[in-house]
Amino acid sequence: MATENVDIDDSLYSRQRYVLGDSAMQRMARSNVLLYGLGGLGVEIAKNIVLAGIKSLTLQDPQSASYMDLATQFFIREDDVKSGRNRAEVSQPLLSQLNPYVSVKSTTQPLTEDCDLKCLKEYQCIILTGASLALQLRIDHFCRTQNPPIKFISADVYGVFCSVFCDFGDHFEVVDQNGEEPVEVFVANITKANPGIVTCLENQMHGLESGAYVTFKEVEGMTSLNNTTHQVKVLSPYAFSICDTTSSQYKPYITGGRCIEVKQSATVTFESLEAQLTNPSILISDLSKMESPASIHLGLYALHKYMEKHKTLPRVRHKGDAEELLKLAKSLNSTLINKVVSIDNELLTHLAFTAQGCFAPLTAAVGGIVAQEALKSLTGKFTPLNQWFYLDAQELLSECHKENDECFQPRQDRYDALRICVGDRVCQQLNSLKLFMVGCGAIGCEMMKNYALLGIGSSQHGLITITDNDLIEKSNLNRQFLFRSHHIQQPKSTTAAQSVLDINPTLHIEPQQYRVCPQTEHEVYNDEFFARQDLIVNALDNVEARRYVDSRCVTNQRALLESGTMGAKGHVQVIIPHLTESYASQQDPPDKDVPYCTLKSFPAVIEHTIQWARDKFESLFSQKPAAFTKFWQTNGSPETALQKFSEGSQLEGGLQALKMLKQQPHKWEDCIVLARTKFEKYFNHKAKNLVYAFPLDTRLKDGSMFWQSPKRPPVPIDFDITNQMHTNFILSLAKLLAYVWGVAVTCTDTHYIVKILEKTDVPPFVPSSKKIETDESAEKPREDEEENFTSDDIMYCCKTLSKLIKDGNAKQESLSLHPVTFEKDNDDNGHIDFITSAANIRATMYNIDNADRLKIKKIAGRIVPAIATTTAAVAGLVTMELIKIVKKSPLEHYKNCFLNLALPSVIFSEPGQAEKTQIHTDLSFTLWDKWQVKGNKSYTLKEFLKYFKTTYGLEATMVVHGVKMVYVPIMPMHNKRLPQTMIKLLKPTPKQEYVDLTVAFESSQGEDVPGPPVRYYFGGK
């Protein structure tokens, strides 16, 4: 394989690079893959691999398009079926459009059990779908005999069952097993013992696992540990053991030290398909169906034997064929090394009944998983599947025995493959569904494709409503597959709607561009809107928006499907009224904020300096320019402001505004000089002032050293005109200052910049008397806060402004600045250049390891890593749950899921039940309950309280509307409100029909207990 580097388009692959890294991206860009079989599963795999960015993909398929393909193969149209076009040839040009950097070729030649396989030697990975078992065995053997071995993957979906098999050879190297950032912790103590015990700083968990390797840096005393690597054994979340530290080479530990995880490669051994058929190694995903994977393995083994005998799949819902498959399975069971103790007869019957069909949500889920395994085979990034994975949707068949077998028979239309699996009644329910999806990004695009294949909203009663207020960016194209380059800067919702109509033109879709938020709650997404929906689907990328939609679903008692991804990780949550808990029922622990004093003066890790640079960007180029402009807009011309100062007025923001006006650059050279001055202030004077205030021998009250881990004493940075990082800081800062002040950038030539810098005089260091915050609990002062003016301040403002006016440096046209809005994805605007150089120079000042631009961009831009494979898998799993909601399945049939394709791990669990709150022995409620009180124009607070006493036997102890206390008996004067009408107390708007109130009651234990939300209707007014 060639080893030259390949240019990677960061604007296209940016989110994926954060997951896979440059090395893996380079390996992919040099790799050739063969994919055999372009049915529903094949095209899903192909789509994900092309989006990922390999060198070339060859599509091979001898089959023509059929009606059966329309339910799963999203690139095949009805005209292709009618004209009998080849599936690979139909798919090739459409797959090519997904990624201009990938060469996609097609061939219609069949792979047979006796064809010449020499042509396969050019590929690094071969993926088979829809292939006979004999062909799989032959190609797997061929792949294993090559040097180096060709990676082999086989995957299939039969009805509501699927299988994945991987064989990457006898010795496959995994360079990064989990893809996580290396753990880094600060050391509190290291014992001289056998073994030595390493303790972390207080309240800092190390996050390591036994067997991991770490290296030490900056340890004082036991210095021989520095830059050496040791295997750890975890003793507690805060301590681990290393080697024997009792020998003389290990001096007693004094202080300091960092411990950094060292990623180790691992070798994984695979067995051949032939060996694994009779002794399968299976990844278990659903702990409630522990025995199912073994039965599925046996059933699919038998299915291949059935096809060898009959040259066809079992007939749809044919009991005789199902019985034959069961006999074959029982016969094959005797050949397994670990026999299936209890063969699941019902499972095998379901397999036989549905095998001719193909369940689109399964093809989506498995397509994501298989594509990720293919990428692992090419890059060694992440732990591969070793070696079988099975997934099924048997829960959807639980009521099928009650329906006429005729309802499952194909009808030569686009839903045949789906109908065989779930029956015509479910197909019609999906056609008539009214679905509202919030967000149309990566998951949203995948979901829309799934909706089109299932025919959701395609009848006259059905409707899909989608909303997204974002426009399409180039970085979206890598994982939002409904969008193409010519769609950039077009609305996501309308573009996605048009794209899926190409897949299924019968859909009814209403695209919108509103946010779902409190501002649209009354006019757009009100209760009436939610009442019209059968189901809500979240396709969002932030927690705040998810919580809001969740709250609206709870209020309106609507089912919600929640999902999300982060890199190789993904989750699916099913939220059903009166059955399950809601999204808000469980909360992740809040991110721990970095203390203000740490960011400002005592950074310990690169993340601190990146955040400092990000904050500095906002302050210099956004907040201060905005405040400057506001000051002059508020206080008029400089002459008017001077008059106010002269009269003794304390004009808010005056000191800062005059300071900026005094420093304003008038030409490009001034911007460069000002940037050079900032360099000296941030990276030289700041360090000198800290060490001046806290000399290196400073001790705390308890006698311990002030400068001890994690505090690092800074070292002043002397500006070096030959240092690229230093000049990058100057140039990026100068350009941003020029933009803010409206100054023309005339020349950025290096020699020109150097000449100006050589002539620049920077102010000398003068110790500051300003207090340096060391209290970690102290909060950051607001940017717009200003100290109270003194008479001296007012005199300074008068004198400064007078001089500026006299010198002509306070002209009206320079009093309106151009604040900068941070934009991480435009590499020409200098935003990331400034933050990268500032963060790394500050890191150098504190002896912190520098970070590359990619990492800094990710952290500063708060970028969520994303890859198409995880997105496709999650969207497929969500759609499986969607159909269960349509069928109104019982709680035990629903599956929440957490997956991590890096490990790989796919874990299903039953959703948590809605928690009950007990008010009295015989009265309880859940989050889904809502009490309603119907009033009228004369309805009083007394009558309102009496309603609860009469209806529930409850004594109300508090009534609250939003933040307003309507009735609290212990409050003075509140009892006088009892005869007042609810209209008078609540003051509804003329069109307002109801309000939601919070009412607390006295429990049987005499305590105040909040009841369910109470919706009070005003009635006729």
List, for residues 802-820, the tens digit of each pLDDT value. 888 888 888 887 789 999 9
Q: Give the active site residue among 427, 597, 797, 897.
A: 597
Residue 938 CB-half CA count within 13 A: 0
Angstrom distance (rounded) from CA 351 to CA 313: 10
Above 70 in pLDDT, residue 591?
Answer: no
Above 60 in pLDDT, residue 992?
Answer: yes
Q: What pLDDT is stored for residue 990 in this prediction?
A: 87
Q: Where residue 1007 falls among pLDDT bands split at 50, 70, 90?
A: confident
Q: Phi then psi for 112, rounded to 5 degrees? A: -120, 175
Above 50 in pLDDT, residue 525?
Answer: yes
Domains of the chain (ranges; CATH) run 1-177+270-291+358-400 (3.40.50.720), 184-262 (2.40.30.180), 423-600+859-908 (3.40.50.720), 629-708+728-765+784-827 (1.10.10.2660), 917-1017 (3.10.290.60)
Mean pLDDT of 959-981: 92
- Choose between 570 and 788: higher pLDDT: 570
Helix axes 40-52, 360-379, angle to 10 degrees: 40
Highest mean pLDDT among 332-336, 403-407, 750-754: 332-336
List, in sequence order, the alpha helices (H) in 760-830: 791-806
DSSP letter, residue 80? H
Angstrom distance (rounded) from CA 747 to CA 145: 61
Above 80 in pLDDT, residue 790?
Answer: no
Angstrom distance (rounded) from CA 728 to CA 846: 19
Angstrom distance (rounded) from CA 354 to CA 360: 13
Q: Which helix (H) or strand (E) holds 300?
A: helix 292-310
User: Residue 449 is which amino acid?
Assistant: K
Q: Where residue 778 falls among pLDDT bands split at 50, 70, 90?
A: confident
Q: Where residue 1 falls among pLDDT bands split at 50, 70, 90?
A: very low
With the C-alpha atoms ordered 246, 249, 254, 255, is the resulting torsion angle positive or negative? negative
Q: What pLDDT is stored for residue 401 in this prediction?
A: 73
- Confirm if 32 and 54 have CB atoms less than 8 A apart: yes
Q: Given its phi and psi angles, is residue 648 left (phi above 0), alpha (psi -120 to 50 degrees) or beta?
A: left
Above 80 in pLDDT, residue 592?
Answer: no
Above 90 in pLDDT, residue 203?
Answer: no
In the block, residue with structure tokens 């990676």: 151
Angstrom distance (rounded) from CA 405 to CA 402: 9
- Confirm if 653 and 786 have CB atoms less than 8 A apart: yes
The rounded radius of gyration (Å) of the Cα atoms in the chain is 34
Mean pLDDT of 317-342: 96
Q: How far is CA 18 from CA 25, 289, 312, 874, in A?
A: 10, 35, 45, 19
Q: What pLDDT is stored for residue 17 in this prediction?
A: 87
Above 60 in pLDDT, residue 786?
Answer: no
User: For residue 440, how many other CB atoms are within 10 A of its CB?
Assistant: 30
The tokens describing 885, both together, are 């909601």
Q: Where residue 1003 falls among pLDDT bands split at 50, 70, 90?
A: confident
Mean pLDDT of 554-572: 96
Q: Given its phi and psi angles, is residue 578 left (phi above 0), alpha (psi -120 to 50 degrees) or beta?
A: left
**Which candidate, 255, 260, 266, places its Cα nearest to that of 207?**
260
Above 90 in pLDDT, residue 402?
Answer: no
Cis peptide bond upstream of 710, omega within 30: yes
Mean pLDDT of 396-416: 90
- Confirm if 438 and 549 have CB atoms less than 8 A apart: yes
DSSP letters of 158-210? EBTEEEEEEE--SSEEESBSS-PPPPEEEEEEE-SSSS-EEEESTT------T
**Which candidate, 51, 65, 13, places its Cα nearest to that of 482?**
51
User: Residue 936 is which amino acid?
Assistant: N
DSSP letter, residue 915? P
Q: What pLDDT is stored for residue 948 in this prediction?
A: 94
- Choose between 649 and 211: higher pLDDT: 211
Cis peptide bond upstream of 280, omega within 30: no
- Confirm if 336 and 279 have CB atoms less than 8 A apart: yes
CB < 8 Å & 24+ apart, contacts of 135-140: 135/111, 136/165, 136/273, 137/273, 137/274, 138/113, 139/111, 140/167, 140/272, 140/273, 140/274
Q: What pLDDT is stored for residue 787 in this prediction?
A: 54
- Confirm if 709 and 186 have CB atoms less than 8 A apart: yes
Q: What pLDDT is stored for residue 590 in this prediction?
A: 67
The question of whether 597 is a catalytic residue gets the answer yes
Above 60 in pLDDT, residue 500?
Answer: yes
Residue 768 burial (10 A CB sphere; 0-12, 13-18, 19+): middle
User: For residue 749, how many other CB atoms are within 10 A of its CB?
Assistant: 9
Q: pLDDT tens, 633-663? A: 999 888 998 898 888 888 888 889 899 999 9
User: Residue 272 is which amino acid?
Assistant: S
Q: What pLDDT is stored for residue 262 in this prediction?
A: 96
CA 1003 distance to own-chain centroid:
42
What is the chain's mean pLDDT, rounded? 93
What per-residue string of b and e applies to 185-205 under the rule 16 or more CB within 10 Å gives b?
A: bbbbebbbeebbbbbbbeeee
Q: Phi then psi for 419, rounded to 5 degrees? A: -60, -40
Angstrom distance (rounded) from CA 758 to CA 797: 33
Instruction: Report the percentage of the chain scoring pLDDT > 90.
Output: 82
CA 5 distance to own-chain centroid:
29
Above 50 in pLDDT, residue 459?
Answer: yes
Instruction: Report the percentage of the chain scoring pLDDT > 70.
Output: 98
Helix axes 724-741, 668-680, angle to 10 degrees: 130
